[in-house]
Amino acid sequence: MVSLENSVIKMKKIILIVFIFCTAVGFSQDEVLQVQPSIMVLPYTGSGENALAKYEEKQEWKSIIATINKALQDRGFTPKDLQETINQVKKNKGINSLKGISFNIEEELLSQSRPDILIKAQINFHTEGAGNSVQIILNAIQLSNRGVLATLPQVSSPHFRTDDYGYIVKRLLNDENVIEEFITDLNRGLGETVAKGLAITIVIQSPNDSLFKLDDEVTDDYDTVSDLIIDWVKKKAFKNQFKMGRSDSQSLIFDEVRIPLRDEYGNNYSINDFEKSLRKAIRRIIAKKDGKGARFSTIVQEGTIKIILP
């Protein structure tokens, strides 16, 4: 009887250990998936020429971007397809070519693909005799605040007697662990984002014709609309991290507010989730004046929440 009881106890312990292990593994995997950022590589030239037009026309540019994408893929990232994004922008704009365009193509591409990180790849070509060389500078930009996460200073390949620029760039990135060092810096920057939260900007404006002014007193303690918004942001900012900018009767600017990457339930949390909560909070605040909480326009773009009071 005692032996049977001991067996049951041992079995319960084994089941408990397996459950804990599986739960830990599952959580760890979810955590990795939740913080994995979306990424896009865009080509640039040092001379200011339209590199995207060159990308569409010249195979060497496509080959270089494909090689950089493959290097990122091999290290756990999933870059967005640049050509597909260009095709979608051209379709939306009703154009067949990127030559002579009057709009900001970078902004259109980012608006269409909405990556978390932009890899700016400045590319230069050099020919010497029968050999070809490529120079590359990489900058990883976090689009929520345009901050630099990682930089690969200018590196140059030797001159190779080949027109296979993908091969040249592959050799360049792999020599002396160049790409590994860049990815290490990028992951370090992403790790800091996980620890400190994602940096966003908040701009709240009250035009001359607005019914609600930021310095309107709306409580019995003479708290203004600005006071209450600041108090709300102070409570909701991740780890209380925020920096104030300009504040007057017509504008309230937070240069930086940190928001978490996940909510209290472990779900992904984005700037749009924060905007939703902020919008509701401001409606409740202005309702203290008119009793209704009038609607107002909100814009969320490239890490900035912009609110215009009615």
pTM exceeding 0.85:
no
The mean pLDDT of 233-260, rounded to a whole number, is 94
Residue 185: which residues within 8 A CB-CB, separation 6 or more?
140, 149, 150, 151
Q: Which residue has the higher pLDDT, 131 or 289?
A: 131
What CATH architecture is 36-194?
3-Layer(aba) Sandwich (3.40)
Q: Which residues of 161-194 are buried (b: 16+ CB within 10 A; e: fewer)?
A: eeeebbebbbebbeeeebbeebbebbeebbeebe
Cα–Cα dist 113/34, whole Å: 18
What is the tens place of the pLDDT at every residue in 154-195? 999 999 999 999 999 999 999 888 999 999 999 999 999 989
